[in-house]
C-alpha cells in the first residue's frame, strides 16, 4: 500500500516538473515559435513522400530552370521552380528536411554519448585519467571545427556518413567538458555518498545516480550542437565534402546551384533559406530550453 | 605575472604536442600508401619507391619518424607542396596576409558595430531596439555564411553592380607586394583608383566573415552589460548623482568589457573556419582557400602543415587572450 503511494507521488512530481518546465519555456515567445517551426520540419521530413508534389530526383527535361510560380514564366506544377536539370525545388527542399534532421540526430547522439562517457570518467576518477582525457579534448578544441571536420573527411573520404562522424568527433569535447564539470560538482554531495554506502558500484554511481542530476546543461548544449551540426554539414556539402549529388541535402543543393547564381536566383535562395530557418528555429528553442532548464545559465 | 605567463605556457606544451601528433598521424592514417601520397609521383619502380621511402623517412620506426618530424618543425622545415614544389612555409606566409587583412577588417566591423549595439540593447532593455537588434543577432548567429555570401553577390554584384565578384583587386592594377596587405600596398603604389578597387573587393567578403562574430559580440556585450548594471557599485554611482551616461560608459562598460574581450579573442577560431567558406565563395587568395584547394588536390604536405600552422595560430591567440585577461583582472592571475 505504502509502495503505491510513493510511486504515485513520484509520477506527480514528474508531472509537476514537466508543468514547471512548460510554464517557463512558454514565457519565451521566440522559443515557442522555434518549437512550432521545428515541429513543422519534423512533419515535412516524416511525411515527405506524401507532401512532396514530385520525386526529388525526377528530371523534367522540358522544365529546366523554371522560375517560381509567382514569377514571370513560372509554371503551375512547380511552386518554387526547378533546378538546372529540371528537378522540382519544393520537393527537393521537403526531402532535404530528412537529411538535416537525420544529420542533427546522429551527430548529437554520437557526440553526446561519447562526450558524456569520457567526461564522466574524467570527472569521476580525476587524477591522470582526467588529465589525459582533458588534454586530448583540448587538442581537438585547438582546431577550428570546420577545418578539422574537413581534414577528417579527407581521411575517411567524402560522403554523408563520414561527414557526420567527423562533425560528431569535433563536437564531442564540448559535451565532455560539461559532463566533467557537472560530475565534479556532484560527486561529493551527500546523496552520492549515501548511494556509495548503500553499495552502489562506480558504473551505477556514475550513470544512474549522478548523471540524471547533470542533464540540464547537456540538453542545452545538445540543442545548440543540433543547429551547428545542420550548419556544418551543409557547409561540408557546399564544399563538396558532405552528402554527394544527387542527394537533396540543402548544402549540396547550394553547391550545385552556385554556377547559376546570377541567372536563377531561386535555386540559390531557397535551400539557404531552408537552412537559415531550421537553424534559427532550433537556436530559438535552445534559448528557451536554457531559460527553462538551467536558471544558472539564464541570460538576465 | 611572470609566473602566470609561465604556467600558461607550460599548459600549452602538451596541447601543442597533441596538435603535432594529429598533423603527423594524419598522413599515416590516410587510406593508401603514404609514400605515394607524400611524394605525389606516379608509376614508381620498386627501387624508386624504396628510395623515396628512405628519403621521406617512412622506412624508419614510427617514433623515429615523429622525432624527425618535430626536429624539422623546430627548424622551420614543413616540407614542399606536391603541386607547386615550393616550401609550404613560404606559401603560407605569402598567402597569410590576405587572410589576415580579411579577418582583421571583419573583426573590426564586428566589434565596432557589435559592442555599441550590445550596450544600447542592455541600456534600453525590453525596448523595440533591444528586441530588433537581438532578433537580428540571433539570425546572424544562425546564418549559413556561404549562402549569405552568395545572396550579397546576387544583390551587390549582380543586380546593383556595385562590387566585383572575386579576387583582391582589379586586374588593371599591378604593383609589387610590399606588405602583403592590399589596402596598404595599393596606397603605397600611388596608382589612381587602386585603393578604391582593393576596398571594393574587400567589402563583401569582410561583411560575410564578420556576420557571426558580430552576432556573438552583440549578444555577449548585452548580457555582460546587464550583469554589471545590476551590481552594487553601479547603483552606488547612480545614487551619488553621477549622470547615467557616465555610469554606463565608465563604471559599467569597463567591467563588462572583460568577458567581451575574451569573446572577441575567441572568435579567431570562428574566423579561420569562416575564412575557408568566405575565401572559397569570393575566390580570395588566402589560407582558407589554399587549404580547401589542397584538400581537393590531395596536396597532403600542404594539408598537414596548414593544419599545424592554423591550430598553432589559434592556440597562440587564445594564449594572448588569456594573458590579456590576466593583465586586466588580477584575480585570474593569482588564482
Q: Which of A135, A139, A280 sits opposite B22 (nearest CB)?
A: A139
Q: How far apart are CA A292 and CA A229, in angstroms?
A: 23
CA distances from A194 to A120, A126, A187, A203, A209 (A): 19, 20, 11, 15, 10
Contact A35, A42 (CB under 8 A): no
C-alpha cell at A81: 521552380
Contact B260, B217 (CB under 8 A): yes
Q: How far apart are CA A241 and CA A246, in angstroms?
A: 13
Q: How far apart are CA B102 and CA B181, in angstroms?
A: 9
**DSSP single-letter state for residue B94:** H
Instruction: Output the pTM of the full model.
Output: 0.88
Q: B19 and A271 in contact by Cβ < 8 A?
A: no
CA distances from B245 to A274, B97, B123, B227 (A): 42, 40, 10, 17
Q: A268 and B307 in contact by Cβ < 8 A?
A: no
Decide if pLDDT at A140 tops 70.
yes
Decide if pLDDT at A267 tops 60.
yes
CB neighbour list of residue B274: distance below 8 Å, 6 or more residues apart: B106, B145, B208, B209, B212, B288
Chain B CB contacts of A155 under 8 Å are 26, 29-31
Give buried/exposed letters for B131-162 (b at 16+ CB in 10 A, else e): eebbeebbbbbbbbbbbbbbbbbbebbeeeee
Cα of B31 to nearest chain A Cα, Å: 7
Helix, strand, coil percent values for chain B (each to nearest 5): 75, 0, 25
What pairs with residue B87 in β-bridges? B80
Contact B15, A138 (CB under 8 A): yes
Decide if pLDDT at A204 tops 50.
yes
A–B interface: beta-carbon pairs under 8 A? 131
- Rg of chain A, C-alpha, whole Å: 23
Residue A149 CA, chain-centre distance (Å), reads 16
C-alpha cell at B72: 624539422
Contact A78, A89 (CB under 8 A): yes
Contact A112, A269 (CB under 8 A): no
Helix, strand, coil percent values for chain A (each to nearest 5): 75, 0, 25
**Is the backbone of residue B177 left (phi > 0), alpha (psi -120 to 50) or beta?**
beta
C-alpha cell at A237: 556539402
What pairs with residue A88 in β-bridges? A82
The larger pLDDT score, comparing residue B49 to residue A243, is at A243
Segment A74-110, tens digit of pLDDT: 888 888 988 888 899 999 999 999 999 999 999 999 9
Q: How confident is the model at residue A268 (pLDDT cuts 50, 70, 90)?
A: very high
Q: B303 and A265 in contact by Cβ < 8 A?
A: no
CA dihedral in degrees (B130, B133, B135, B138; nearest 10)? -120
CB neighbour list of residue A254: distance below 8 Å, 6 or more residues apart: A234, A237, A238, A268, A271, A272, B144, B146, B147, B150
**DSSP single-letter state for residue A67:** P
Catalogue the long-range contacts made by B21-27 (C-beta closer than 8 Å, 24 or more residues apart).
B21/A139, B21/B66, B22/A139, B22/A143, B22/B307, B22/B311, B23/B304, B23/B305, B23/B307, B23/B308, B23/B311, B24/B65, B24/B66, B24/B69, B24/B304, B26/A151, B26/A155, B26/B300, B26/B303, B26/B304, B26/B307, B27/B300, B27/B304
C-alpha cell at B43: 608509376
Decide if pLDDT at A41 tops 50.
yes
Angle CA(A65)–CA(A38)–CA(A25) in degrees, nearest 5? Answer: 155
Task: For chain A, give the percent of residues with pLDDT over 70.
Answer: 95
Mean pLDDT of the region A25-31: 87
Q: What is the mean pLDDT of each run of 10 residues along chain B (335 residues)?
A: 81 86 82 72 78 78 86 86 87 92 94 95 92 94 94 90 84 79 83 85 94 94 88 85 83 83 83 90 92 86 89 86 75 63
Q: B295 and A284 in contact by Cβ < 8 A?
A: no
The dihedral built from the CA positions of residue B144, B147, B153 and B159, taken in this order, carries a sign that is negative
Residue A144 forms contact with B (CB below 8 Å): yes
Q: What angle do helix axes B300-328 and B88-123 make, rounded to 10 degrees?
A: 40
Cα of B200 to nearest chain A Cα, Å: 19
| Structure confidence at residue A294 (pLDDT) | 67
Q: B19 and A154 in contact by Cβ < 8 A?
A: no
Give the three-class secondary structure for A83.
Answer: coil
Chain A residue with CA closest to B14: the answer is A135
Catalogue the long-range contacts made by B321-325 (C-beta closer than 8 Å, 24 or more residues apart).
B321/B261, B321/B262, B321/B265, B321/B266, B322/B8, B323/B4, B323/B5, B323/B8, B324/B261, B324/B265, B325/B258, B325/B261, B325/B262
| Structure confidence at residue A237 (pLDDT) | 92
Q: A136 and B18 in contact by Cβ < 8 A?
A: yes
Contact A234, B144 (CB under 8 A): yes
Taking residue A38's Cβ as centre, other Cβ atoms within 10 Å add up to 18
Contact B225, B252 (CB under 8 A): yes
Is the complex ipTM higher than 0.90? no
Decide if pLDDT at A299 tops 60.
no
The answer, yes or no, to whether the previous bond of A246 is cis (omega within 30 of 0) is yes
Amino acid at each position: 500500500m505504502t509502495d503505491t503511494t510513493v510511486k504515485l507521488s513520484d509520477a506527480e512530481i514528474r508531472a509537476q516538473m514537466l508543468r514547471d518546465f512548460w510554464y517557463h519555456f512558454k514565457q519565451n515567445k521566440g522559443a515557442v515559435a522555434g518549437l512550432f517551426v521545428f515541429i513543422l520540419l519534423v512533419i515535412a521530413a516524416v511525411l515527405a513522400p506524401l507532401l512532396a508534389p514530385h520525386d526529388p530526383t525526377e528530371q523534367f527535361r522540358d522544365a529546366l530552370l523554371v522560375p517560381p510560380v509567382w514569377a514571370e514564366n513560372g509554371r503551375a506544377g512547380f511552386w518554387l521552380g526547378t533546378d538546372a536539370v529540371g528537378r522540382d525545388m519544393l520537393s527537393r527542399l521537403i526531402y532535404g528536411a530528412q537529411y538535416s534532421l537525420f544529420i542533427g540526430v546522429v551527430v548529437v547522439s554520437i557526440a553526446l554519448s561519447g562526450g558524456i562517457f569520457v567526461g564522466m570518467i574524467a570527472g569521476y576518477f580525476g587524477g591522470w585519467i582526467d588529465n589525459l582525457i582533458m588534454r586530448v579534448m583540448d587538442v581537438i578544441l585547438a582546431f577550428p571545427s570546420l577545418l578539422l571536420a574537413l581534414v577528417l573527411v579527407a581521411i575517411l573520404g567524402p560522403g554523408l556518413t563520414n561527414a557526420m562522424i567527423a562533425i560528431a568527433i569535433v563536437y564531442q569535447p564540448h559535451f565532455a567538458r560539461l559532463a566533467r564539470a557537472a560530475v565534479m560538482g556532484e560527486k561529493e554531495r551527500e546523496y552520492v555518498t549515501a548511494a556509495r554506502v548503500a553499495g552502489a558500484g562506480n558504473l551505477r554511481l556514475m550513470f544512474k545516480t549522478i548523471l540524471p542530476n547533470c542533464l540540464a546543461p547537456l540538453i542545452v548544449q545538445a540543442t545548440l550542437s543540433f543547429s551547428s551540426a545542420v550548419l556544418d554539414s551543409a557547409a561540408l556539402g557546399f564544399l563538396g565534402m558532405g552528402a554527394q549529388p544527387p542527394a537533396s541535402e540543402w548544402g549540396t543543393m547550394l553547391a550545385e546551384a552556385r554556377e547559376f547564381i546570377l541567372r536563377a536566383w531561386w535555386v540559390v535562395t531557397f535551400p539557404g533559406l531552408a537552412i537559415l530557418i531550421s537553424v534559427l528555429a532550433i537556436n530559438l528553442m535552445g534559448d528557451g530550453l536554457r531559460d527553462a532548464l538551467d536558471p544558472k545559465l539564464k541570460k538576465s | 605575472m611572470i609566473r602566470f605567463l609561465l604556467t600558461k605556457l607550460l599548459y600549452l606544451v602538451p596541447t601543442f604536442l597533441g596538435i603535432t601528433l594529429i598533423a603527423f598521424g594524419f598522413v599515416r592514417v590516410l587510406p593508401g600508401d603514404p609514400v605515394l601520397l607524400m611524394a605525389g609521383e606516379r608509376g614508381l619502380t620498386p627501387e624508386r619507391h624504396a628510395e623515396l621511402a628512405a628519403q621521406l623517412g617512412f622506412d624508419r620506426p614510427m617514433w623515429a619518424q615523429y622525432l624527425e618530424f618535430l626536429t624539422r618543425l623546430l627548424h622551420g622545415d614543413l616540407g614542399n607542396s606536391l603541386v607547386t614544389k615550393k616550401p609550404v612555409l613560404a606559401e603560407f606566409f605569402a598567402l597569410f596576409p590576405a587572410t589576415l587583412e580579411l579577418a582583421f577588417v571583419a573583426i573590426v566591423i564586428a566589434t565596432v558595430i557589435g559592442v555599441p549595439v550590445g550596450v544600447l540593447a542592455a541600456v534600453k532593455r525590453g525596448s523595440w531596439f533591444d528586441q530588433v537588434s537581438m532578433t537580428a543577432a540571433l539570425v546572424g548567429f544562425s546564418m549559413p555564411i556561404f549562402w549569405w555570401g552568395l545572396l550579397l553577390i546576387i544583390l551587390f554584384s549582380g543586380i546593383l553592380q556595385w562590387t566585383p565578384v572575386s579576387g583582391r583587386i582589379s586586374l588593371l592594377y599591378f604593383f609589387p607586394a610590399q606588405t602583403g596587405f592590399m589596402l596598404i600596398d595599393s596606397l603605397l603604389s600611388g596608382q589612381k583608383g587602386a585603393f578604391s578597387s582593393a576596398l571594393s573587393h574587400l567589402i563583401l567578403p569582410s561583411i560575410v566573415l564578420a556576420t557571426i562574430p558580430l552576432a556573438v559580440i552583440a549578444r555577449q556585450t548585452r548580457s555582460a552589460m546587464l550583469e554589471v548594471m545590476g551590481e552594487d557599485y553601479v547603483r552606488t554611482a547612480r545614487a551619488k548623482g553621477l549622470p547615467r551616461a557616465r555610469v554606463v560608459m565608465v563604471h559599467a562598460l569597463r567591467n563588462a568589457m572583460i568577458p567581451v574581450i575574451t569573446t572577441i579573442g575567441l572568435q579567431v577560431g570562428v574566423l579561420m573556419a569562416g575564412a575557408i567558406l568566405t575565401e572559397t565563395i569570393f575566390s580570395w587568395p588566402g589560407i582558407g582557400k589554399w587549404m580547401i584547394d589542397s584538400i581537393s588536390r590531395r596536396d597532403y604536405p600542404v594539408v598537414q602543415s596548414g593544419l599545424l600552422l592554423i591550430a598553432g595560430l589559434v592556440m597562440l591567440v587564445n594564449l594572448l587572450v588569456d594573458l590579456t585577461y590576466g593583465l586586466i583582472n588580477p584575480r585570474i592571475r593569482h588564482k
